[in-house]
Chain A
Amino acid sequence: MRCPVAGPYDDDVWGAMKAGPSQEEIRRHNLGTLLRHVHIGGSMSRAVLAERMGLNRSTILGLVSELGSAGLVREELPRDTGRAGRPSLVVRPESDRVYVLAFDVGVDRLAAARIGLGGVFLDRREISVPAGRRDAGKVAEVLAGAALDMVDAAGHGTYCVGVAAAVRGMVRRPDGLVRAAPHLGWEDEEFGEDLMRLLGLGLPVSVGNEASLGALAEHLRGAGAGCQDLLYLHGDIGIGGGVVTGGQLLSGDQGYGGEIGHMVVNPRGGRPCGCGANGCLEAEAGERALLEAARRDPSATGREAVHAVVEAADRGDITARAALHDIGDWLGIGVANLVNVLNPRTVVFGGTLREVFLGSAAQIRSRINRIALRASRENLRLRVGELGDDAVLIGAAELAFSEILVGPLETLARAGA
Chain B
Amino acid sequence: MTATPTTPILRLSGIDKSFGAVQVLHDVSFDVRPGEVTALVGDNGAGKSTLVKCIGGIHPMDGGEYWFEGAQVQVHSPREAAALGVEIVYQDLALCDNLDIVQNMFLGREKRRGLVLDDTTMEEMATQTLEGLSVRTVKSIRQQVSSLSGGQRQTVAIAKAVLWNSKVVVLDEPTAALGVAQTAQVLELVRRLADNGLAVVLISHNMNDVFAVSDRIAALYLGRMAAQVSTSDVTHSQVVELITSGRSGDLGLARSNGVTA
Question: Do B211 and A361 touch across chains, with their CB atoms under 8 A apart?
Answer: yes
Measured in the bound complex, the distance between the Cα atoms of B179 and A364 in whole Å is 21
Chain B residues with Cβ below 8 Å from A381 are 2
Measured in the bound complex, the distance between the Cα atoms of B259 and A202 in whole Å is 81
Instruction: Say yes or no: is B142 at the interface (Cβ < 8 Å to chain A).
Output: no
Q: Which of B128, B179, B184 has the most CB of A within 10 A?
A: B184
Instruction: Say yes or no: is B208 at the interface (Cβ < 8 Å to chain A).
Output: yes
- Min Cβ gap A166→B in Å is 24
Chain A residues with Cβ below 8 Å from B179 are 311, 314
Chain B residues with Cβ below 8 Å from A383 are 191
Size category of the binding interface on chain B: 20 to 34
Q: Mark B144-180, 1 if CB is under 8 A from A, else 0.
A: 0000000000000000000000000000000000011
Instruction: Say yes or no: is B83 at the interface (Cβ < 8 Å to chain A).
Output: no
Chain B residues with Cβ below 8 Å from A355 are 180, 184
Question: Do B232 and A366 touch across chains, with their CB atoms under 8 A apart?
Answer: no
Instruction: Say yes or no: is A330 at the interface (Cβ < 8 Å to chain B).
Output: no
Q: State which of A125-133, A290-298, A372-380 sits at the interface with chain B.
A: A372-380
Question: Do A362 and B2 touch across chains, with their CB atoms under 8 A apart?
Answer: no
- Min Cβ gap B181→A in Å is 8
Q: Mark B227-244, 1 if CB is under 8 A from A, else 0.
A: 000111111110000000
Instruction: Say yes or no: is B183 at the interface (Cβ < 8 Å to chain A).
Output: yes
Given A314-B179, A360-B208, A378-B232, residue A366 in contact with residue B188 (CB < 8 A): no
Q: Which of B190-241 contact A (CB under 8 A)?
A: 191, 207-212, 230-237
Chain A residues with Cβ below 8 Å from B116 are none
Majority secondary structure of chain B interface residues (helix, strand, loop or mixed): helix
Instruction: Say yes or no: is A187 at the interface (Cβ < 8 Å to chain B).
Output: no
Question: Do A379 and B208 touch across chains, with their CB atoms under 8 A apart?
Answer: no
Residue of B nearest to A366 (CB): B235
Instruction: Say yes or no: is B256 at the interface (Cβ < 8 Å to chain A).
Output: no
Q: Mark B2-15, 1 if CB is under 8 A from A, else 0.
A: 11100000000000
Question: Do A382 and B234 touch across chains, with their CB atoms under 8 A apart?
Answer: no
- Min Cβ gap B141→A in Å is 16
Given A355-B184, A360-B208, A361-B212, residue A369 in contact with residue B235 (CB < 8 A): yes
Measured in the bound complex, the distance between the Cα atoms of B232 and A317 in whole Å is 28
Q: Mark B121-132, 1 if CB is under 8 A from A, else 0.
A: 000100010000
Question: Do B3 and A358 touch across chains, with their CB atoms under 8 A apart?
Answer: no
Question: Do A380 and B232 touch across chains, with their CB atoms under 8 A apart?
Answer: yes
Q: Which of A299-333 contact B (CB under 8 A)?
A: 307, 310-311, 314
Instruction: Say yes or no: is B24 at the interface (Cβ < 8 Å to chain A).
Output: no
- Min Cβ gap A253→B in Å is 34
Residue of A nearest to B240 (CB): A362
Instruction: Say yes or no: is A365 at the interface (Cβ < 8 Å to chain B).
Output: yes
Measured in the bound complex, the distance between the Cα atoms of B181 and A363 in whole Å is 20
- Min Cβ gap A275→B in Å is 30
Question: Do B208 and A358 touch across chains, with their CB atoms under 8 A apart?
Answer: yes
Question: Do A362 and B232 touch across chains, with their CB atoms under 8 A apart?
Answer: no
Residues of A within 8 A of B (CB): 80, 82, 307, 310-311, 314, 354-355, 357-366, 368-370, 377-384, 386
Q: Given A310-B180, A365-B232, A384-B212, 11 other A-B contacts at CB below 8 A?
A: A82-B124, A361-B211, A363-B236, A365-B212, A366-B236, A366-B237, A378-B230, A380-B232, A381-B2, A384-B188, A386-B134
21 chain-A/chain-B pairs, Cβ below 8 angstroms: A82-B128, A311-B179, A311-B180, A314-B180, A358-B187, A358-B208, A358-B209, A360-B208, A361-B207, A361-B211, A361-B212, A362-B208, A362-B211, A365-B212, A366-B236, A369-B232, A369-B234, A369-B235, A379-B2, A380-B2, A384-B188
The 3 closest A-B pairs by CB, nearest first: A361-B212, A378-B3, A366-B235
